[in-house]
């Protein structure tokens, strides 16, 4: 049976009604202490990001042994992993789903799939809390500020440096965008989710899924970590203070568990304040695990936009006085995930991927500007901005669960864009793509638009990216099989082509080719004009590359 067919069956089972009495009668499979520890580790590394530490679901489905939900019509829907049973769970984990869950049969062994199917039928453990003292005790300054360089001590073109996540080794590779040479491999937290730049462009902040935040100084002769702190047990987001007068002064990092965010000094990562995000959802229900999904720094106010996944609340955190913190709470929709700025950098757009909506916040007024209905499971990354020939400025998001890229009209104060005002905050076009997209990208100096599909169950599609000419969005100009273009030996396991990222000048696009731990991975560099391969970056140290962040583009939020 094909992966897509299994996916449809899996989703229908998960969404369907189940008898609570039968679910309660079912007995969870027994696990030894060693098996439970092994399963907890796999769940943290592979599952918790989408399904939650408490398994209540968000981007992924609820994985509690038994759950029930009352609908608006008063009808109660019930389900759970116990009702699904061992055999069905093994098929779901092995083959993946059409909703964006990958097939794990080329990631986990058969024994591990069997183990995980047993594990998620057991009641999840509640992890311990993580206090301000715990955070402070973990803080390390490796190179004090007064011992750091007073000027750039290397001759690298830092604007075109790339911070590349090496997921499974817990490292970041700093790659020279001009020479394509690996300048430094820096030990960081496990599975770094993002890299963010300080306002000055000197420091790179990288946050691992294990909650470890590392500060890298690019001015050193060989860039290295100069400070680190652990902000929780599971984390995804970080940013810095970018408003004029606060450059490089503060950093903020968001935790998945415990659900909280931490404010730190920007140059040392010394913790200054820990703030819990537990509270009520937009539906008026208490949630014990409202994770910090994404954070961005405003350029027009001393504020961070902090998106709380499970509650559907967007927080505008004013850092002008962190001792007397002021926060504006904006209700949007569940479950908030990732997003980015429009071209003007006044509006922040974020995916509420369980509601199939995009929420837009006006950071000038501090209010919700729009809540836009879109296709199934939007997943924009930062999104992408360009001027559409018919509809003017638009922001784009791809989808995990739908075969389109959605274009939303965004406001502009430019006189030449006044004629497009009628389209603002409307879906103006859906570009035909394939499900399983994670990232879309373009550049102000490019005429091309790129989209990956690494979560697609089809191997060829997961290993390819689509490219459109923005003058004609009716169909892709090309579909590039990155795995074949890399010249690496073919493997049974999928080498997922993921995360297009432009060079600072907009002339190159870098694609990660994410293979298994024992497979040779690569970063494939394309010429954006010709769509031909310019360079394949391979190295024994290039293990499971995923996200790539160009220093200049990340510093200035260009996408």
| Dist. CA 293–CA 49, nearest whole Å | 10
- The catalytically annotated residue of 101, 116, 264, 542 is 101
Give the tokens for residue 336.
């908030």
| Dist. CA 153–CA 136, nearest whole Å | 31
Residue 409 CA from chain centroid, whole number: 23
Say how many C-beta atoms besides its own lie within 10 A of residue 481's C-beta. Answer: 13
Cβ atoms of residues 163 and 204 within 8 Å: yes
Residue 192 phi, psi (nearest 5): -50, 130
50 catalytic? Reply is: yes
DSSP, residue by residue, 399-454: BSSSSEEEEEE----SGGGGGGGGGTTSEEEEEE--S----EE--TT-SEEEEE-T
Cβ atoms of residues 117 and 127 within 8 Å: no
Who's near 455: CB < 8 A, 6+ residues apart? 100, 101, 102, 400, 435, 436, 437, 438, 462, 496
379 catalytic? Reply is: yes
- Residue of 240, 267, 242 lying closest to 253 (CA atoms): 240
Angle at 225 between CA 221 and CA 227, to 5 degrees: 130
Q: Could you tell me the strand order of the sheet in which 260-265 lies?
A: 234-240, 250-257, 260-265, 271-276
161 catalytic? Reply is: no
- The catalytically annotated residue of 66, 193, 287, 337 is 337
337 catalytic? Reply is: yes
**Peptide bond preceding 335 in cis form (omega within 30 of 0):** yes
- The catalytically annotated residue of 66, 193, 287, 379 is 379
Just list the catalytic residues.
Answer: 47, 50-51, 101, 337, 379
């Amino acid at each position: 049976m094909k992966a897509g067919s299994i996916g449809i069956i899996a989703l229908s089972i998960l969404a369907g009604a189940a008898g609570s009495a039968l679910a309660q009668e079912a007995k969870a499979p027994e696990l030894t202490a060693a098996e439970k520890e092994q399963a907890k580790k796999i769940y943290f590394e592979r599952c918790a990001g989408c399904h939650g530490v408490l398994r209540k679901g968000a981007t992924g489905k609820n994985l509690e042994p038994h759950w029930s939900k009352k609908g608006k019509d008063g009808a109660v829907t019930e389900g759970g992993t116990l009702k699904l049973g061992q055999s069905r769970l093994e098929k779901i984990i092995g083959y993946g789903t059409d909703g964006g869950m990958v097939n794990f049969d080329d990631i986990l062994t058969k024994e591990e799939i069997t183990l995980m199917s047993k594990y998620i039928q057991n009641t999840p453990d509640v992890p311990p809390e993580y206090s301000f003292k715990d955070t402070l005790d973990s803080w390390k300054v490796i190179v004090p500020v007064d011992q750091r360089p007073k000027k750039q001590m290397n001759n690298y073109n830092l604007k075109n440096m790339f911070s590349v996540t090496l997921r499974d080794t817990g490292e970041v590779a700093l790659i020279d965008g001009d020479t394509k040479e690996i300048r430094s491999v820096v030990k960081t937290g496990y599975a770094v989710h993002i890299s963010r730049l300080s306002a000055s462009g000197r420091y790179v902040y990288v946050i691992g899924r294990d909650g470890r935040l590392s500060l890298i100084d690019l001015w050193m002769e060989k860039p290295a970590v100069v400070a680190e702190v652990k902000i929780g047990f599971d984390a995804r987001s970080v940013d810095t203070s970018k408003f004029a007068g606060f450059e490089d002064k503060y950093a903020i990092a968001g935790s998945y568990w415990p659900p909280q965010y931490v404010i730190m000094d920007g140059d040392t990562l010394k913790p200054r304040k820990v703030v819990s995000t537990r509270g009520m959802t937009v539906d008026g229900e208490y949630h014990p695990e409202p994770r910090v999904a994404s954070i961005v720094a405003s350029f027009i106010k001393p504020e961070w936009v902090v998106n709380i996944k499970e509650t559907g609340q967007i927080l505008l955190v004013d850092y002008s006085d962190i001792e007397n913190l002021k926060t504006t709470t904006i209700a949007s929709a569940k479950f908030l995930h990732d997003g980015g700025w429009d071209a003007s950098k006044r509006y922040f757009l974020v995916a509420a991927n369980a509601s199939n909506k995009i929420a837009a916040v006006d950071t000038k007024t501090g209010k919700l500007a729009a809540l836009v209905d879109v296709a199934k499971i939007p997943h924009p990354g930062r999104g992408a901005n360009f001027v559409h020939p018919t509809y003017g400025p638009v922001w784009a998001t791809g989808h995990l669960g739908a075969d389109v890229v959605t274009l939303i009209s965004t406001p502009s104060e430019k006189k030449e864009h006044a004629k497009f005002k009628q389209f603002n905050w409307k879906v103006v076009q859906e570009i035909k793509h394939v499900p399983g997209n994670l990232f879309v990208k373009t550049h102000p100096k490019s005429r091309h638009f790129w989209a990956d599909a690494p979560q697609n169950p089809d191997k060829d599609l997961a290993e390819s990216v689509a490219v459109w000419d923005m003058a004609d969005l009716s169909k892709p100009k090309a579909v590039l099989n990155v795995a074949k273009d890399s010249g690496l030996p073919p493997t049974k396991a999928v080498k997922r082509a993921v995360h297009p990222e432009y060079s600072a000048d907009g002339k190159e696009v870098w694609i990660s080719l994410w293979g298994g731990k024992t497979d040779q991975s690569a970063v494939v560099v394309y010429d954006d004009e010709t769509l031909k391969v310019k360079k394949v970056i391979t190295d024994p140290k290039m293990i499971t590359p995923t996200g790539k962040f160009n220093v200049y583009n990340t510093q200035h939020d260009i996408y």
